[in-house]
Amino acid sequence: MSVEPPSSGRPTGPPSGPLSGPSQPPPGGGPPPEPPSGGGEPPEPRRPWWGSVPRVALIATAVVAAVILAVVFTRPDGGGTGASDGGTRTSEGEVFLQPAADAGPDPFTESTAKESSAAPVSPSPTELAPQNAVQGVQGGAPGLYGGTRNVSSCDVEKQITYFKGAPDKQRAFASVARVDPPDVPAYLRSLTPVQLRMDTRVTNHGYKDGAATSYQAVLQAGTAVLVDDRGVPRVRCACGNPLAPPVAQQTAPKASGDAWPSYKSSNVVVVTPAAEPVDVFVMCERDGEWFERHKGDTGTKDRKTEKPDKPSPSVSVTTPTSPTDTTSSEPPTSEPPTSEPESETSSEPPTSEPPTSEPQPPPPGSDTGNGTTDQAPAS
C-alpha cells in the first residue's frame, strides 16, 4: 500500500515559534488568559522598577542627601561649628570651659603636667565694654605666667616619648603646629613650660579619627602650658593638645562645661604675641616670690628676681569686627608683629585691622606677617 506525501501547506513538525493560539491553562485550574486586543499585537513589556523616572529621581535625591550628611558629620572641623566632646559638638559661638587638671575631649596624649602652683591674678579693671570684647595681654608681660622655681610645669621629654609611640598623632600635631612631623621633638624643646595666672581663651585641638579637631576654649588659671618665644600658649600639658590663638566672635561667647568657682567671663584674657622675642619670662610663685625663667628652659636656670612695678599685667580691650579662621594660626616665630612695641600698658590684642598707632618698621630681613591677624582685631 502506498503512502501519500504530506501536503505542502501543512508543517511536518512542531512550529519553531510560539503558538498563535491560547496557551495551556496555568496550573491550579485557573482560567486561561484572555487573548491580546488590538489585532493580536503582543502586550507592551513591563518596565523594571529602576526604569521609572520618578523612582530614579527619588532614589538619586536620597543618595545625595546621605552623602552630604556623611561629609558634614565626618569633617575634622565638625562642619565648622566646633569640636567633638564625647560624641557632641559645640555650636557656633560656644566656648568650652576647661579646668586646669581636666584632660578634656579627645586628648592627644596622657597628661604630662607636673605638680606645680601659680598664684592666680585677675586682669586690671577695664572700662565698660560689650560682652564680646576681648581683653589682650602681651605674652612677655611680667606676671602673666607663674609656677614654681626650679620646677617645670610640664614634662617635655615625656610628651616627646608619647608622640614617638603614636606617629599618627605626631603628624596631626605637626599639622596644627605647622612643622614637619620629624621636627616635633625639637619644636617641643624650644617651648617654655609655665602656668597660666589668668583664665585664658585659646583655640584648643583634640585628636579624633586620625585628624586634629578644633574648638574654642577657656583654660583655667593654673593650667600648665608650653609657650613660644612670643609668650603665646602652644601646648596644653594636661592632654598634649596643640593650641592656637582664639577665633574672634561677633556675639557674647556661650560658656559650656563646668565653671570653676572663680570663673567670670569678664576676667578672661587673650594672650597676644610679645613685640619682640622673649628671652626671659618674669614669673610668680604662689607664695608671692618672683623668679626668672629663660626661654626654652625647664627650670634648671631659674633665679630669684625683684617684684615688678606692675605685678598684675595690664590689658587692652577691643571689640571683634570680623571672624577669622584658626587654621591660619602661625607657629612660634622670632619675627616682630605689625604693632609698635611699647610698654606693657599699651599691649594690643590680636588684630585683623591696622592699629591706631603708627607701626614700627621691621628690622632688615624680617617679615611682618606673624599670624596676629588670626585673633581679635584692634580697636
Query: What percent of the chain has a predicted confidence (pLDDT) above 90?
Result: 46
CA-closest candidate to residue 222, choices 173, 174, 263: 263
> What does the alpha-carbon distance between residue 274 and residue 263 come to, in Å, rounded to a whole number?
26
> What does the alpha-carbon distance between residue 344 and residue 356 come to, in Å, rounded to a whole number?
16
**Listed ranges 62-76, 198-212, 333-347, 351-365; the one with the highest mean pLDDT:** 198-212
The set of cell numbers assigned to 149 is 622655681
Residue 151 has pLDDT above 90, yes or no: yes
Burial label for 22, CB within 10 Å (0-12, 13-18, 19+), is: exposed
Residue 133 has pLDDT above 60, yes or no: yes
The set of cell numbers assigned to 49 is 522598577
pLDDT of residue 53: 57
Angle value at C-alpha 255, between 108 and 346, nearest 5 degrees = 90
Contact of 134 with 349, CB cutoff 8 Å: yes
Query: What percent of the chain has a predicted confidence (pLDDT) above 70?
Result: 56
Q: What is the pLDDT of residues 9-19, one digit of tens each?
A: 555 555 454 44
Confidence of residue 78 (pLDDT cuts 50, 70, 90): very low
Contact of 279 with 295, CB cutoff 8 Å: yes
Helices then strands, each counted (H, E), the chain: 4, 17
Q: How many CB atoms lie within 10 A of CB 27?
A: 6
Mean pLDDT of the chain: 73
- Considering just the CA atoms, what is the radius of gyration of the chain in Å? 35
DSSP 8-class letter at 290 = E
> Helix (H, G, I), strand (E, B), or coil: what is residue 93?
coil
What angle, rounded to 10 degrees, do the helices at 167-177 and 156-164 form?
Answer: 120
Angle value at C-alpha 72, between 66 and 75, nearest 5 degrees = 130
Q: What is the pLDDT of residues 297-318, one digit of tens each?
A: 999 999 999 999 888 788 888 7
| Residues recorded for the chain | 379
Q: What is the pLDDT of residues 210-223, one digit of tens each?
A: 999 999 999 999 99
Amino acid found at 31: P
Distance spanning both ends of the chain, measured CA to CA? 127
> What does the alpha-carbon distance between residue 327 and residue 212 come to, in Å, rounded to a whole number?
11
Of 12-26, 84-98, 121-135, the poorest mean pLDDT is in: 12-26
> What does the alpha-carbon distance between residue 97 and residue 55 come to, in Å, rounded to a whole number?
49
Residue 344 has pLDDT above 50, yes or no: no
Q: How many CB atoms lie within 10 A of CB 162?
A: 17
CA-closest candidate to residue 270, choices 224, 229, 216, 334: 216
Q: Where is pLDDT greater, at 252 or 229?
A: 229
pLDDT of residue 54: 58
CA-closest candidate to residue 299, choices 149, 109, 78, 179: 149
pLDDT of residue 373: 38
Question: Residue 68: enclosing H or E segment and its boundaries?
Answer: helix 53-74
The set of cell numbers assigned to 130 is 560689650
Residue 1 β-bridge partners: none
Residue 48 has pLDDT above 70, yes or no: no
- What are the two backbone dihedrals, phi and then psi, of residue 9, each rounded to the nearest 5 degrees? -90, -5
**Edge-to-edge strands, sheet with 192-196:** 254-256, 94-98, 211-219, 200-208, 241-244, 233-236, 224-227, 192-196, 145-146, 280-284, 290-294, 303-304
> What does the alpha-carbon distance between residue 268 and residue 98 come to, in Å, rounded to a whole number?
13
Sign of CA dihedral 196, 112, 258, 91: positive
Q: Are strands 134-138 and 316-318 parallel, antiparallel or unpaired?
A: antiparallel
pLDDT of residue 207: 97
Amino acid found at 41: E
Residue 155 has pLDDT above 80, yes or no: yes
